[in-house]
Structures are given as structure tokens and as C-alpha cells.
């Protein structure tokens, strides 16, 4: 069987490339083992789909910690403004929230997937529910693929199989092996935007506790490398949630004990204001024991750990607590400590860091420098962004560059 374009993978990059290629009149086939496109898109942004980040190309680049220069051309030619215009043109109204994060007005990721699917069908793109097992290359030229024991020939092939995180959505890392078969090198794969394992046993004691409006600061030794206000969650292994996922992408080389986290549980109050607040609570509970006087100040699940870390015996009467002890307790609430032990497995990460070596890809066309007519797009490439819509923009921009040339 012969066609113009074969796309391996129906995720964000593959589906976008399919839409753009077919709009240009290119006869296109997408191979997607799930049979349906956008399975990972459906769960992004807690099912709301953070489509992009409403900022300039320069701002986009500042939020790409890994190989940003490679994306300079892609972001210049297909920016977040272009992404927003495209989806609104597809009939999906968008809104911009805190941190310039862009979501569908409906808060439904399914609307983004449906828009892509609708346009693929309208343009006659065929989706084949088969896994590609080989890429056909002859004399340094890509000629097609093998799937389900059959050969499919095409003028060009786009490899957009995603990373290794979230394997249940189809991102099982198989695309890396296909690329390696064609002579490409894959840089070491590591989790990014991933929950963090902590050394402290007290995380498990607070499992399920969600904190809102706290500030998480990440330190590499004594140097602060990340600080942000938002939400986080304690788990049986450590911490997770939006703040933690963002912080994880700032850890360049994981070493147990090297990094520490300090949580400001009361970021809206200065230390002096917090001390005044604690004094007020103490005065209302003057004859109660310390452990029973904190119900207004802290969530119930946090109280036993906070008491233990304060060094003040929980049964101490409030009126017996010294000024020094009280100030030290206020300081603890401003700098609640956690020690980073490691990451959770790559399968639990939102993004895979690492991938096809960028030195082997033309940054303007996304074509392989080793194999003619073979292209790459999305997470399979060795570049990734912080949380906030930047990784989907990488997918869409690289798909656009590839689709212009497929």
C-alpha cells in the first residue's frame, strides 16, 4: 500500500501533524495502536488540557530547560498565539488563567481531542490500529513502515510516538527503538514533571493531605533554584501535586540528599505577623495543651508532625511555652523541611526528559540529518519544558515544522 505521509503515533504531535498535512492535500495515514487519537491529551491538566502558554516565543524559550535553542525556529514559526488561533478556528473557545496557562472554556480536554479528530476525519486521514514494528530505509532514504506484518510505503514518515511516561496511554518508549534501528542515538531517558520521593517518614503520616496557597522552595545545597506559590499533596512516598511536578524539572542531576524542599505554610504572613497570629490562638487556648491548640492554624493531619518537629512536647500547656519556643515554631511553619531522596519511576512522570539527539535533527524542518524523508515531532525529541502548557506547545510547534515538509 502506498500513501503520501505516514505518521507513527496519534498523540498531540502526531494528530496535529495529521491535520496540517491533510489540509495541504497530502494523503495521510496515522498508525495508532489505541485506535483513537489523543489518549494522553485527555488526561493532561487534570482532564482540562493546558493547551499552551499565552506568551511570546522568547518567553516560551525561557521555559524550556533542555535544549531551548533547538526550538527557536519552531516557536518563531508556530507560536502559542498560532496554537490558540488554530483551536479557536476549530470551534474550541479558549481562556487564559494564572501563569498564562491556556485551557478550553469548557474545562474539557475532550473538546481539544474532538477538534483534532473531527478535522482528521473531515480531511480523510486514515487511522490504522496497528503498532509499527519497523521503519523501511533503503540507500539512506526512508520509504515506509512495517505494521501488523504488512509493508506500507510513503514519500515521508513522521515519528511522533511520545516518550516513556504514562505507558497506559501508549507512550511505551517503543519509538526510541525504531529510531535507533535507523541509526539515530537516544540520550538517557529520565522522568520530568514527576512526583518526588522524600527521606522523611512523616510524609506517609500526612498521606492524602492537600495544601493550597503554600510556597514551595527547592534548594540545591544552599542555592534556591525554584520557588512558587500553589498546590501540593503529601503521599505515602513523599510529595506530589502541581508545585512538586514543576520543582522536579529544576533538578538537573538527582542525588539523594543533595536537594531539599522548604514549604512556607503561611506565605501571606510575615514571620512577625505569623507570630502575632500564633499568640492570638494561644491566648484563646491558654489552658489547653499545645497539641490541641492548633486546630485553627493548621490542617488536622499536619498538627501531629508540626508538634513533633517543633520540639515542644505536645502535652505542654500553652501558657508554659516560651517566647523562643513560639518563635521557633513560627519559623518551622515558614520553612517546613523535606529532603529529596529521588524521583518516582519514569512511568509516573508526565514528561520524559531525553530522547532523539537534537544534533541529528534539522531544527527548521524536523527532518533527520541521517535518513532522508524521516521526520520527528513532540516528546520523542530530546527537549522538554516546565509545566504550564509548554510541553504541548513543543509538540504543536515541532509538528507544524515537520508537516510543512512532509
Counting the structural domains of the chain, the total is: 2
**Residue 182: CA count within 13 A, CB half-sphere:** 34
Tens digits of residue pLDDT in 315-366:
999 999 999 999 999 999 999 999 999 999 988 888 899 999 999 999 999 9
Residues 6 or more apart in contact with residue 146 via CB below 8 angstroms: 132, 133, 134, 135, 136, 152
- pLDDT at position 172: 82
Same domain? For 44 and 168 the reply is yes
Residue range of the domain that includes 295: 195-343
Q: Is the pTM of this model over 0.75?
A: yes
Same domain? For 7 and 44 the reply is yes
| Residue 12 and residue 30 in contact, taking contact as beta carbons nearer than 8 Å | no
Same domain? For 251 and 281 the reply is yes
- pLDDT at position 164: 86
Same domain? For 149 and 10 the reply is yes
Domain CATH code at residue 100: 3.50.50.60
Same domain? For 11 and 134 the reply is yes
Same domain? For 369 and 338 the reply is no
pLDDT under 50: residue ranges of the chain: none
Same domain? For 210 and 78 the reply is no
| Residue 164 and residue 171 in contact, taking contact as beta carbons nearer than 8 Å | yes
| Residue 155 and residue 167 in contact, taking contact as beta carbons nearer than 8 Å | no
Tens digits of residue pLDDT in 5-17:
999 999 999 999 9
Same domain? For 277 and 336 the reply is yes
Q: Which of 97, 338, 101, 366 is nearest to 217 (CA)?
A: 338
Q: Which of 318, 343, 368 is the last residue of a domain?
A: 343
Q: Are strands 351-353 and 238-240 parallel, antiparallel or unpaired?
A: unpaired
User: Which residues does residue 154 pair with via DSSP β-bridges, in sequence order?
Assistant: 3
Inter-CA distances, 363 with 133, 340, 374, 386, Å: 26, 35, 13, 20
Same domain? For 327 and 271 the reply is yes
Ranges of beta strands (E only) in 81-131 are 94-96, 101-104, 126-128
Q: Which of 343, 368, 387 is the last residue of a domain?
A: 343
Same domain? For 211 and 288 the reply is yes
Cα–Cα dist 87/263, whole Å: 38
CB-based contacts of 345-348 (< 8 A; 24+ apart in sequence): 345/191, 346/164, 346/165, 346/189, 346/190, 346/191, 346/194, 347/164, 347/165, 347/166, 347/167, 348/165, 348/191, 348/194, 348/195
| Residue 123 and residue 24 in contact, taking contact as beta carbons nearer than 8 Å | no
Residues 6 or more apart in contact with residue 204 via CB below 8 angstroms: 235, 236, 237
Q: Which of 325, 343, 361 is the last residue of a domain?
A: 343
| Residue 367 and residue 405 in contact, taking contact as beta carbons nearer than 8 Å | yes
Cα–Cα dist 295/71, whole Å: 50
Same domain? For 325 and 231 the reply is yes
Same domain? For 126 and 182 the reply is yes
- pLDDT at position 376: 98
Inter-CA distances, 81 with 49, 51, 88, 91, Å: 16, 11, 11, 16
Amino acid at each position: 500500500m502506498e500513501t503520501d505521509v505516514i505518521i507513527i503515533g496519534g498523540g498531540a504531535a502526531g494528530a496535529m501533524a495529521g491535520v496540517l498535512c491533510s489540509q495541504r492535500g497530502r494523503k495521510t495515514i496515522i498508525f495508532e495502536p489505541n485506535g483513537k487519537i489523543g489518549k494522553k491529551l485527555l488526561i493532561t491538566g487534570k482532564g482540562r488540557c493546558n493547551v499552551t502558554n499565552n506568551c511570546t516565543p522568547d518567553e516560551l524559550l525561557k521555559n524550556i530547560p533542555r535544549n531551548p535553542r533547538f526550538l527557536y525556529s519552531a516557536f518563531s514559526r508556530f507560536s502559542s498565539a498560532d496554537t490558540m488561533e488554530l483551536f479557536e478556528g476549530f470551534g474550541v473557545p479558549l481562556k487564559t488563567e494564572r501563569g498564562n496557562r491556556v485551557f478550553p472554556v469548557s474545562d474539557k480536554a475532550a473538546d481539544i481531542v474532538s477538534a483534532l479528530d473531527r478535522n482528521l476525519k473531515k480531511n480523510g486521514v486514515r487511522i490504522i490500529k496497528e503498532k509499527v514494528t519497523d521503519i523501511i530505509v533503503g540507500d539512506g532514504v526512508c520509504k515506509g513502515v512495517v505494521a501488523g506484518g504488512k509493508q506500507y510505503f510513503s514519500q515521508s514518515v513522521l515519528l511522533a510516538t511520545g516518550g516513556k511516561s504514562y505507558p497506559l496511554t501508549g507512550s511505551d518508549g517503543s519509538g526510541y527503538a525504531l529510531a535507533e534501528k535507523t541509526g539515530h542515538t537516544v540520550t538517557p531517558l529520565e522522568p520530568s514533571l514527576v512526583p518526588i520521593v522524600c527521606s522523611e517518614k512523616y510524609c506517609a503520616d500526612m498521606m492524602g493531605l492537600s495544601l493550597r496557597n503554600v510556597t514551595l522552595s527547592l534548594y540545591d545545597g544552599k542555592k534556591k533554584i525554584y520557588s512558587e506559590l500553589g498546590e501540593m499533596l503529601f503521599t505515602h512516598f513523599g510529595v506530589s501535586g502541581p508545585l512538586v511536578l514543576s520543582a522536579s524539572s529544576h533538578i538537573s542531576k538527582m542525588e539523594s540528599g543533595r536537594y531539599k524542599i522548604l514549604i512556607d505554610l503561611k506565605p501571606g504572613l510575615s514571620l512577625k505577623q505569623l507570630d502575632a497570629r500564633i499568640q492570638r490562638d494561644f491566648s484563646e487556648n491558654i489552658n489547653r495543651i499545645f497539641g490541641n491548640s492548633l486546630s485553627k492554624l493548621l490542617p488536622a493531619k499536619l498538627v501531629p508532625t508540626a508538634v513533633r518537629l517543633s520540639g515542644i512536647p505536645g502535652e505542654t500547656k500553652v501558657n508554659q511555652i516560651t517566647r523562643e519556643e513560639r518563635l521557633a515554631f513560627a519559623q518551622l511553619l515558614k520553612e517546613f523541611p523535606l529532603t529529596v531522596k529521588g524521583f518516582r519511576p519514569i512511568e509516573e512522570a508526565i514528561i520524559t526528559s531525553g530522547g532523539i539527539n537534537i544534533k541529528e535533527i534539522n531544527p527548521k524542518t524536523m527532518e533527520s540529518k541521517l535518513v532522508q524523508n524521516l521526520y520527528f515531532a513532540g516528546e520523542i525529541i530530546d527537549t522538554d519544558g516546565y509545566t504550564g502548557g509548554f510541553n504541548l506547545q513543543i509538540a504543536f510547534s515541532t509538528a507544524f515544522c515537520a508537516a510543512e515538509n512532509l
